[in-house]
Amino acid sequence: MQTEIEHLFDHKPDHYTEEHFALFHKFKHKLNLGEVRAAQPDAFAKNGWRVIPWVKKGILLGIRMGAVVDMSVSPSRQPFFDKATFPVKQMSLADGVRIVPGGSSIRDGSYVGRGVVCVPPMFINVGAYVDNNTMIDSHALVGSCAQIGGHCHISAAAQIGGVLEPVGAMPVIIENHVMIGGNCGVYEGTIVKERAVLGSGTILTRSTPVYDLVRGEILTATDDDPLVIPAGAVVVAGSRAITKGQGKEWGISLYTPVIVKYRDAKTDARVQLEDLLR
């Protein structure tokens, strides 16, 4: 499948045949089952994860192949026009996913594990992987190809950024048992390791250093490596004073995330309360 997808992606035909669409639907079926992923754990990789570029090529191929069609539930009350290759994901009670009424949307070509709770209105985009027993809360976004572990809580209004291009770019990775607070934003291939906690309003990007007050380190992304939040870190939104020039004279401080502690029994007790909502 990989060879066929890459060849069709790199050599666009004059028109797409039934065989081409059959190949894409076979690929998308494996995305829905979680059998192919845009990134996957790799014990030999420096940060524990490896990008799978051909999977992104397959998703982009589907976007290229699809025509925009009317998928409206009601043309007057809820118009919906999108690529025919990526409708709303078809799900049933047997999938074991709780989708609370109120306007949530899960795009076809994403994996949603058993026990996942979807609180409206939330959105899971194509290529995303959401593992078992994770909660996606109100107004939260799981972007294209983002990888979310099991037993996580993506709180209200949190944004987990997506990426399709370039195909070699690392998507955002949220490992198991991570708590993402309300109004957080995790972008640009950031990796949040297991059991970490992001306090409300924390923003993580490639260009923003993270100050670890516990270990006395400054965590940054490089040209070759993403920003990585250590396992068990508790990160909050902080600020750092400008120490020279006009910024110092004006008393300006810049936003920066700060690791203030690592998870302990008190943190675990607070996070444990989330299980009552599942």
Q: 206-222: per-residue pLDDT in tens?
A: 999 999 999 999 999 99
Q: Which CATH number fits domain 83-277: 2.160.10.10, 3.40.1160.10, 3.10.20.340, 1.10.287.980?
A: 2.160.10.10
What pLDDT does 274 receive?
A: 61
CA–CA dist 275, 133 (Å, integer): 9
Q: 219-267: per-residue pLDDT in tens?
A: 999 999 999 999 999 999 999 999 999 999 999 999 999 999 999 888 7
- DSSP SS3 for 189: coil
Q: Which residues contact 8 (CB under 8 A, 6 or more apart)?
A: 20, 23, 61
Name the residue among 88, 111, 121 with its Cα closest to residue 36.
Answer: 111
Partners of 254 in the β-ladder = 240
Q: 58-114: per-residue pLDDT in tens?
A: 999 999 999 999 999 888 888 899 999 999 999 999 999 999 999 899 999 999 999
CA–CA dist 120, 157 (Å, integer): 11
The structure tokens listed for 4 are 């066929």
The pTM assigned to this predicted structure is 0.95
CA–CA dist 12, 98 (Å, integer): 40
The structure tokens listed for 89 are 């994901």
What pLDDT does 275 receive?
A: 66
Q: 187-198: per-residue pLDDT in tens?
A: 999 999 999 999
What value does the mean pLDDT of the chain take? 95
What pLDDT does 269 receive?
A: 75
Q: 147-185: per-residue pLDDT in tens?
A: 999 999 999 999 999 999 999 999 999 999 999 999 999
Which amino acid does the sequence have at 80?
A: F
Which amino acid does the sequence have at 182?
A: G
Burial level of 246, CB count in 10 A (0-12/13-18/19+)? exposed
What pLDDT does 135 receive?
A: 97
Which amino acid does the sequence have at 189?
A: G
Say which residue, 30 or 103, is predicted with more confidence. 30
What pLDDT does 125 receive?
A: 98
- DSSP SS3 for 148: strand
Number of continuous H segments (helices) and E segments (strands) in the chain: 5, 26
